[in-house]
Amino acid sequence: MKAHLLAFICHLLVLGAVALSVPRISPPPGSVIVRAGTTDTGEYASVQAAAQALPNDNSTRSIFVYPGTYTGQVNITRPGATYVCAPILRYSDEMSSDGMQIYGYTTDASSYHNNVVNIVASGTLTSAGSDDLSGSMRVQSSGVRLYNINVKNTYGPGVQAIALSAYGSRFGAYGCGFYGYQDTLYSNQGTQVYLKSYIEGAVDFIFGRLGQAYFEGNTIAVSGYGCITASGRQANNSAIYVFDRNEVVLASDAQSGISGRIFLGRPWADYARVIFKNTYITAPMNNTMWSIWNPGDERTDNVLFAEYNSTGPGIPSNVQRPNFATMLTASQAAQYDITSVVGSGWEQWVDMAYLLDADVTGFD
């Protein structure tokens, strides 16, 4: 027990549990304003209306969203990027400015804990016609950054129902929350980072085919039995999911009876590639940690399901990983960093203020 407590305290320190409060309560100059129920000229009552009001080009634009629950799907399709909340560090001004920015009002932009902007819908694969089309927020553009926005699909168990569908490259989610049950986060294509955010679901809730996604400092919350990831990598290509220094927990409203029925992932396709590094786990995992796709359809011939330095009381004492799982050495694990996932030059588009190793020297 003492060892687990010490490990948890160390994990909190790594995640920056003692962090500066960084408010973002007013729009950056030039932002399009979204305010629930507004009738003011020049403001919009929905995020979708604000996005549609932007020019259909690759000019740099930003949207600032005041507190509220905004019901209805949001589609980002313009050639440029959208950011929710401005970068919080002064050195972020050096980042590439192509695309679109969307800002969520918050009293502390450094994490998701004080988010008060919610985008909510309840589409499903059945009602929408495809998994992608069910997304409460669909990002089809490159260069989009979201800050301190909660995106929720409230449908619940029974069928695929996406919160975020992300197809763009140079996509970043910072201090955001993604809530769903089955297929919460569709990281399907492009280079993407998810930093200091919250991701909740039960069945295959981080998944996709071609996405190159890096996850750091997030809380991954399990609400029902199933697999956290379902990589659909279909060939020996660049698609990969790397998780470094995240925490896997039970959601506050998790179903009962799921102890031992939670897995880090299963292969949606035969070349699935998922790496978990330095993960602190309190959710009660199955003792195999990883799953086949289905009996008789295992899809494990070419997978890379790998771990390094997984700790925490959620790992069973009788853990017995399958032969298709890989335990990495420290030197092997070091090869799976943000550069290996999203490529060189990432410093020009990733908001480094949200990296756990960021040297925070000043705030705007």
Q: Which residue among the candidates 131, 132, 204, 244 is catalytic per the annotation?
A: 204
Question: Residue with structure tokens 């020996």?
Answer: 236
CA atoms within 13 A on the CB side of 325: 18
DSSP 27: P
Are 220 and 197 in contact, with CB atoms under 8 Å apart?
Answer: no
3-state secondary structure of 3: helix
Alpha-helix runs per DSSP H in 192-256: none
In single-letter form, the type of residue at position 27 comes to P
- From the number of C-beta atoms within 10 Å of its C-beta (0-12, 13-18, 19+), residue 193 rates as buried
| Exposure string for 226-245, b = 16+ CB within 10 A, e = fewer | bbbbbbbbeeeeebbbbbbb
* Residue 138, token pair as written in the block: 């669909």
The answer to whether 93 is a known catalytic residue is: no
263's tokens: 């897995």
> 331 vs 242, 277, 307, 339, CA distance in Å?
15, 12, 12, 15
The sheet with strand 144-147 has its strands ordered as: 43-44, 32-34, 61-65, 100-104, 144-147, 171-174, 189-195, 210-216, 240-244, 273-277, 304-308, 325-327
End-to-end CA distance of the chain: 42
C-alpha dihedral sign at 247, 251, 256, 258:
negative
User: What token pair was written down for 273?
Assistant: 């590639």
Residue 125's H or E segment, with its range, is helix 125-128
Exposure of 85 in the CB half-sphere (CA atoms within 13 A): 35
Give the residue numbers annotated as catalytic, written as ranges.
Answer: 204
